[in-house]
A and B are shown apart, each in its own frame.
Chain A
């Protein structure tokens, strides 16, 4: 079964600290992996996207890594800010019967406190 699992479910960190969120998937055949940020009460916004051949991608203080062999990805947030408080969702795209499909993780809820 094609699944995407994220950990931890929730995380509280102090402003200025770094943190790493994890995403493991069983999806196959893999197409790409994307991290979204979702602020409370709003729709998700794309942060990074990686294909099979990419193992790292940065977007400002956000750095995503991908290990396609172990089917693991991480999102590292450097020098966290209060505005980083949000849910972070891992999304994996895969191919099935000529169609592309997507499977979403349930997300990690991050709270950055002063």
Chain B
């Protein structure tokens, strides 16, 4: 299995631009998670899906952030407009059964907003 795939691995953009991060979960996993990691705050859960349906988006910082999962093998996290404080590493993870189950993380997307 290829594991969780994320793209791009690195993204540098200017403030105000739209950013789209992509994720392909492990086949057969029913849960997909988006996280943000910074030095100051560590890992923060932004949103998670069960069978393509958003279950808990209480971690999404504000309306500039949106996430979609149009099918079982693809999800996007979009930031529009981006701001310098959005600079972080964004991880996608998937699990078979539940949020408390073992989560398998992708390699992350390092986002820098200038």
Contact = CB atoms under 8 A, between A and B. Distances in A.
B107 A32 contact: no
Interface residues of B, number: 19
A100 interface: yes
A27 B91 CA distance: 23
Given A89-B42, A105-B42, A99 B56 contact: yes
Chain A contact patch, size range: 20 to 34
Tell me whether chain A's interface is mostly helix, strand or loop, or mixed.
strand
A46 interface: yes
Nearest to B95: A46
B106 interface: yes
Contact of A46 (B45, B102, B106): B102
Interface of A: 31-32, 34, 41-46, 49, 89, 93, 99-102, 104-107
